[in-house]
Structure 1
Amino acid sequence: MHLPFWLTTALLFPLIAYQGRRVRRTTPRLPEAGGPSSGQYGEGQPATTLLVIGESTAAGVGAETHDQGLASQLARHLHQRTGQTVAWHTFGINGIRLGGLIKRLANAELPDADRVLLSMGVNDTTGFTPRHRFHQQLIDLQQQLASRYPAPLYLISVPPMHRFTALPVPLRHIMGWRARQLDQIYSQLAKDCPGKFQHLTYPTVTDPHLLASDGYHPGPEGYAYIGEMLSNEFPGH
């Protein structure tokens, strides 16, 4: 049990609850990206096909179109690095938690893919999803996908919310603390079950010019930066 976290959260709860309500009230709610949710870099049959699933970052919030978003930008940088043809697809739902995503994926028409990446964790952080539940849901998701996608599920680490300048202190630090706890679950699963899970580090975005107008999500340049950083550590390339 993470007793220090819960004691600190309980002590600060009146303040962080007020700050949370204020952030929700004052932060612009940006739409999901528009346009086609798939594409390709290079000619001919793809050597690699990426599928990104998850919450607002998979939905391209902060970008106008999906080709500016995470899946597309990761595919673009992989194509530039390797010279190979890389296709991409994205399936994201703004505001969803992991349990909700699992339910939506059960009835979704998903494309074939060589690599599936999960971009998740912010809403489970802000919603205080219990760690044991988050752990089990990750296992459930991997099992749900395994029959169609036998490669490991790539877990993009929970964004470093302690650096989200749109969040006031101490809310920012509490959310960052919780995000690190959930990301530790990612790391442990990847360590214990490398054939089922792999962990990729979400790069820290500190330049305000890389953020969207809400100061919370990446903008187009932010997604390009994240895609480039992820491509540098992406296994097999």
Structure 2
Amino acid sequence: MLWQETASTCSRDQPMHLPFWLTTAGLSPLLIYQGRNVRRNIVRLPEAGGDPSGQYGEGTPDRRVLVIGESTAAGVGVQRHDQGLASQLARLLHERSGETVAWHTCGINGATLAELVDNLPLETLPQADVVLLSMGVNDTTGFTPRSRFRRQLLALRETLKPRYPVPVQLLSVPPMHLFTALPSPLRQVVGWRARQLDNVYRVLARKRPEDFTYLPYETVTDTSLLAEDGYHPGEAGYRLMAESIASQLA
């Protein structure tokens, strides 16, 4: 995570972000101290329980939604998957269109993109015509180099393409500079890094629209919409995200 890596990754990243690495190196003693405190004190929530799939409407689905990724896809912050992002998104699409919408979510809590690529249970995932990827937080705190993050996105796309030929919808990397559970300046540094990884999404979606679509969504900043850890969305937070995404998918 952030406080475990500093200059060791600098040489592997692109030189245009030298100000970021100089700032990080200069603040590293404080960042390490703050990071350790966060890890020690943050409330650790489990993944959601219940069935990770469902359907709104009767009969054969007109639309199938699949969400893959890290803690958001794993439903951290709610008790059941039907309260999470995939379910709430499917319900909104059903209500707005009248179509029968099936949903499935598959998340690995705490995973980086490399770990998702290596451990995604592709053979057990259902068919889908809307595939959303929710990643970036753990790669941000783990200081994944942007070049490696891009390669892993391309590797994931090649893994998914035979089964899911539609473009992968890249949910924007959360704006971690707004995560009130993180102290300053740790919050600002990881927010800076999150924006860098989010820009990888934007560039890939612009250059390879047949493979990726960039999908921003309304940021969950209201603490009443967050789970008890102050870090993950609660049920109302996932609903806010789903409303923003559904408007774009419609």
Normalising by the smaller structure, the TM-score range is over 0.9
User: Which one has a larger percent helix, Structure 1 or Structure 2?
Assistant: 2
SS at match of 2:188: helix
Superposition pairs for residues 12-91 of structure 1, below 5 Å?
12-91=27-106
How high is the sequence identity, in percent, across the aligned residues? 64
Deviation by residue 1:166-193 (Cα, 9 ceiling, x = unmatched): 0000000001100000000000000000
SS at match of 1:58: helix
Q: TM-score, normalised by structure 2?
A: 0.92
1:186 aligns with 2:196: no
Cα distance, 1:202 vs structure 2? 3.0
In the other structure, the counterpart of 1:219 is 234
Contact 1:158 1:202 in 2 (8 A): no
Deviation by residue 1:132-177 (Cα, 9 ceiling, x = unmatched): 0000000000011001100001100101101000000000000110
- Structure 1 residue runs of 4+, over 3 Å off? none
SS at match of 1:173: helix
Q: TM-score, normalised by structure 1?
A: 0.97
User: How many Å separate the matches in 2 of 1:196 and 1:93?
Assistant: 23
User: How many Å separate the matches in 2 of 1:161 and 1:44?
Assistant: 41
CA RMSD of aligned residues (A): 0.9
Letter in 2 for 1:93: I
1:132 aligns with 2:132: no
In the other structure, the counterpart of 2:20 is 5
Q: Which runs of 5+ in 2 are unaligned?
A: 1-14
Letter in 2 for 1:3: L
Change (3 A) 1:108 1:124: farther
SS at match of 1:76: helix
In the other structure, the counterpart of 1:206 is 221
Q: Which runs of 5+ in 1 are unaligned?
A: none
Q: Which of 94, 97, 101 pairs up with 2:112?
A: 97
Count of aligned pairs between the two proteins: 235
Letter in 1 for 2:179: F
SS at match of 2:74: coil
